[in-house]
Structure formats: structure tokens, C-alpha cells
Amino acid sequence: MRPVAIPGLEKHLQGVFDRRKECDARSYILKEYKDEDWDVGNIVFTLTNRRYGEKCIAYSESHDQALVGDKSLAFWLMDKEMYTNMSALIPMTAVIDRGIQLHKMIRLITHGLGGEGYLNFMGNEFGHPEWLDFPRQGNNESYHYARRQFNLVDTDHLRYFQLYAFDRDMNRTEDKYGWLAAPPAFVSEKHEGDKVIVFERSNVVFVFNFHPTTSFQDYRVGVEMPGKYCIKLDSDMTQYGGHGRLDHSTEFFTEPLPHNGRPHSMRGCGFWSVLTGLGILECSNRAGDSGVF
């Protein structure tokens, strides 16, 4: 982020402010469109629309969305059901299920594609359910909503701890593979009909299925690096509030078959109807290489 309203600050802090805060459009998409109507091409454009070489801070939710008069990201996705149906002791309703899966996917695609840094507004890492409101005349100087309920993530019978576990492992995975410090991603797939997005960054392959009803099996994915790939991060794992439908012992082997502008490709990647974001696939042909899909 570059300060533009504090004259002389950059002179004293030269080299510190080297990133620009990305303009957010996710809240607009959530407000105006049902998730089945999301334009995946527009999502990719929004996350990559920056000048080459200009470092940006990406975020899926900032303080603006949590302030009174608006809703948090999780609240836009699940609304009033967060008050009654977030227990891990009961089956998920359709709203909670879809909301939890989308909350994870939105964070992961923003983290992987959106910039060279990732900003988290406190509470978003576990899907904080309510808005933020400071004492003012309009609320009788109340402190009731001037809070973040961190106790929610420590309550193991509520699903907030599952959202937090995914956020924790997403950041740990980035620590290992370093995509935020890597050059911009190469987007090989943004299929509007399938609602599938595929991109590579830092030798990692990311694959997302945003389709609300359709599952895909043997989906072909183009990659730059040939070799064997393994799943390293998967939003559908049960500890993240997913359904555990992917076998993590599966190995995916590339073929010398060009696909979507990439010299190699692989099949057998199963993507599921209720939001799945596949995390890092590690390529074994060169030490340290990885792919996410």
C-alpha cells in the first residue's frame, strides 16, 4: 500500500510501502448475483487486473464490509442460519454447506491469484458472523457490536474452528511453496459453462470448481511442469468442514499432450459439485516443485 495523503511519509519510510491495496469486488458480486450466476471470467479479471510488476495486497474482506450497514463475508453467504445451524453435532443445511465451502474457496483463490500479499480482517479467518459497530449516537453509544468473538473458534462443537483450520493450513502451505513472492499466475482455464478455474503459480497448480450442481471426473488440466503430482491442500477435507471425497493417496501423471496453452496435461482430477478448491499438488520430478489443483 502506498500512502498518498500523508506528505513526506514516503521520504522517511522509503521502501516500506511497496504494495498497493487491491480494489475489492467480491462484496459486489455477493450482493448482486447468486453464486450459480457468477462469471468466472470476471472473477479472474478482477483478481489479476493490475499492472505487471506492481505489487498488490489482496483480500477477500476488509473492515469496510464488516462495518455496520454491511455484512461480513460469511454473513453474506449464510446469513441468519449462522445463529442456529453452525453446530458440528448436526448435519449441515444446504445453506451452511454451500456457504462454508465458498468461504474457503474465496479465500484460497484470492490468496493464490490476487496479489503479492494477503490481508485478513480480524475474524474473517474463521468466518465471523456479525458486523462491527463502534459506539455512536445512532446506537446509544453501545459497545455490543464493538467486538470480535474469538471464543467461537475455540468452541469445538461449532464449525468456526473448521474454517479457521483451513485458513491456518492455507497460510502454512503458502509458507512452504511461496506463491505470494512468485511472479503472477498463468491462468490456463476459466470455463464459464463448467465454472472451473485453473492456474499455476510458483510451480503450484490451483484448481477450483465453482459449479453449484455438476461434478467432474477425469477433468483434463494443463500444466507447465511434467511429472507426478500429489494433492497437498484440499478444501473438501473433513477437518475443514468438507466431505472428504478425494483420495489423497492418488498420484496424477502428466502426458506430453498440450492443453490450454500448456505443454503437458493430466487427467483423473475429480472435482465435486459442492465447491472444491484443490490445493497443492507436489511434482516429484524436481525437488521442491509443486502443483496445486
Q: Residue 31 corresponds to which cell in the numbers above?
A: 450482493
**Under 8 Å between Cβ of 152 and 158:** yes
Q: Residue 154 corresponds to which cell in the numbers above?
A: 475455540
Per-residue confidence in pLDDT tens, the chain, 293 aa: 333 333 344 344 445 556 666 655 556 677 778 888 899 999 999 999 988 888 899 988 877 766 766 788 899 899 999 999 999 999 999 999 999 999 999 999 999 999 999 999 889 999 998 888 889 888 899 998 888 899 999 999 999 999 999 999 999 999 999 999 999 999 999 999 999 999 999 988 999 989 888 888 888 999 999 998 888 899 999 999 999 888 888 888 999 999 999 999 998 655 554 456 565 555 655 333 223 44
**What does pTM read for this prediction?**
0.86
Q: What is the DSSP string of 213-252?
A: S--EEEEEEEESS-SEEEB--BTT-GGGTS---S-TT-EE
Task: List 82's β-bridge partners, or say none.
Answer: none
CA–CA dist 37, 43 (Å, integer): 12
Q: Among residues 226, 242, 224, 227, which one has the least CA distance to residue 279?
A: 242
Residue 143 neighbours by CB distance under 10 Å:
10
**Under 8 Å between Cβ of 71 and 28:** no
Give me the residue spans of the domains in the chain. Answer: 16-180, 186-292
CA–CA dist 88, 252 (Å, integer): 33
- 116: exposed, middle or buried (Cβ count in 10 Å: 0-12, 13-18, 19+): buried
Q: Residue 252 corresponds to which cell in the numbers above?
A: 496424477
CA–CA dist 25, 60 (Å, integer): 9
Of 2.60.40.1180, 3.30.930.10, 3.40.50.150, 3.40.50.300, the CATH number of 186-292 is 2.60.40.1180
Q: Measured between alpha carbons, how far is residue 181 from residues 52, 87, 280 in Å?
A: 14, 37, 16
pLDDT of residue 2: 34
Report the helix count and the strand count for the chain, using DSSP H and E. 7, 13
| pLDDT, tens digit, 9 for 90 and up, residues 58-85 | 988 877 766 766 788 899 899 999 999 9
